[in-house]
Structure 1
């Protein structure tokens, strides 16, 4: 719907209504916290925009013209509707500020988000903070499903793994995650003294995540740099925890986030298998729908926590 351009802004309407109520431009100016000159100039601009005189100025004060009286009636209705819409918007923002729907890749969901969410709640419960705490729902999925859910509006914020900037959503880099090759202590590779070459890694039947996962994608990309592809997996599972437990039980080796295996490497329940000339690292990204800047409210609050939390 195209408007004529003769419609003043809401602040001008409110100023005119106040002149009608108080009978004085000076009183209306004081009520709106502006100077009388500024108020007078604004009303003059309003009359010029509308194209008819709205006020009759004289030695005894200011009174409405017939057109001005009609304009005040219309303005009062418009301002009432504007107040209702403004209150409704505030309610919507309140709902947004109280709820945050997150869908995250497995590594982020299992090993990083818990401490980020604790830090967010601590921030929101500090003395002097009156916004209240945010109710968070979290779903873990592979990176492809995270992107689909965010694009479909099923989540306010997503976290994915991978080297490439995902299409169809806005995103920001939040860190980097190194993947390491691990094996059970009983595996022959755990006793190997020399690093594996990229070609040797390519020939391994590994315990692997399903297609569409960030972990599997990054391993495939790292081998593709050398013109290699991955061998068919020995077993395929859908969570990093399942991958780790399969390897710990004596299954085939696997590439896993260092975040996921730090405790196991210290306890020697898993063993690091060294590789040579093979960089298996991925960017971690936050994704959302909208402009380049993250939406105000809990999405932006959580990303601020992520930025300062090691």
Structure 2
């Protein structure tokens, strides 16, 4: 295979007509240029230069190879320019995974700031369930993703590099006319006689409810299984029961419900930023990572 550095020397010699001039231009000694070009002739398998008393003249092969060398050097300069644009955040794409409650509570301000600070970068955001987010990370479809976990089901740090962003406390949702609606906080022990609205399909908040009720000494009486937090709030608002939810899920609560802080042994979930351990991260992705960390810190102060 032909050596690119020797091709650059050949092009310089042909363009200047002299090994001495090419050496001065590129910062080599004339003897070093001569030695490298002889090696290039060996690689090419034929003479590339006629060595004259005053300067040099390319052979037919030298003309052809110098022309190719100029083309290769132009492409390399273009590649360096493209990389410089990526490094300078003037170009590129960032693919981010998220889940619905984080997308509605944490992500909007971060996205707005990212687009304002990096208008030349393209942002691709995908919202999905937990298992789908893991698959997107593993396949490289997204470079970074927001994830969540609880203390009994921690995400494996050997699989992904994890940056904890914030603790998302569990809160209680009651109807506006519920007996506790005027309170700011309550304890699970006060809720033993209540009916409950819970997320269905083995949703993690169901595990939170079971563990919290068990710690308070009772078994929850389930009145309704909801498909999402909007449906859960709607059923709570008409008195079908009360519900638990992460605070991010009720950032914009239903007008006919009230949100109370829970005291005592009620698990909170952890919101994380994850990327694959083996993945080399582009500057644009690192910029988004930093904005998510700062956005989570700002969001935490509003909880």
TM-score range, shorter chain: 0.5 to 0.7
Q: Superposition pairs for residues 168-247 of structure 1, below 5 Å?
A: 170-184=160-174, 185-187=176-178, 195-196=187-188, 206-209=196-199, 211=201, 216=205, 219=208, 234-247=223-236
SS of residue in 1 equivalent to 2:188: coil
Distance 1:138 1:300 in 2: 15
Q: Superposition pairs for residues 290-309 of structure 1, below 5 Å?
A: 291-297=278-284, 299-309=285-295
| Equivalent in the alignment of 1:143 | 130
| Equivalent in the alignment of 2:266 | 278
Mark the CA change 1:173 to 1:293 in structure 2 (over 3 Å): closer, same or farther: farther
Q: Superposition pairs for residues 1-310 of structure 1, below 5 Å?
A: 7-29=1-23, 31=25, 34-37=26-29, 41=32, 44=35, 47-48=38-39, 60-62=54-56, 70=61, 73-74=64-65, 76-77=67-68, 80=71, 83=74, 90=82, 97=91, 99-124=93-118, 132-163=119-150, 164-165=154-155, 170-184=160-174, 185-187=176-178, 195-196=187-188, 206-209=196-199, 211=201, 216=205, 219=208, 234-261=223-250, 264=253, 269-272=257-260, 274-287=262-275, 291-297=278-284, 299-309=285-295, 310=298
Question: How many equivalent residue pairs?
Answer: 282
Instruction: Say which structure is richer in strand.
Output: 2
Distance 2:144 2:202 in 1: 19
Unaligned runs of 5+ in 2: 299-303
Deviations 1:57-80 (A, max 9, x none): 78633556x6xx646634643663
Mark the CA change 1:48 to 1:206 in structure 2 (over 3 Å): closer, same or farther: farther
Unaligned runs of 5+ in 1: 1-6, 125-131
Q: Is the 8 A contact 1:243 1:254 kept in 2?
A: yes
CA RMSD of aligned residues (A): 4.9
Distance 1:202 1:47 in 2: 90
Deviations 1:230-286 (A, max 9, x none): 969644444444444443443433332323435659x99314252423332313224
Name the TM-score, length of structure 2 as normaliser: 0.66
Q: Is the 8 A contact 1:222 1:280 kept in 2?
A: no
Q: Is the 8 A contact 2:105 2:248 kept in 1?
A: yes
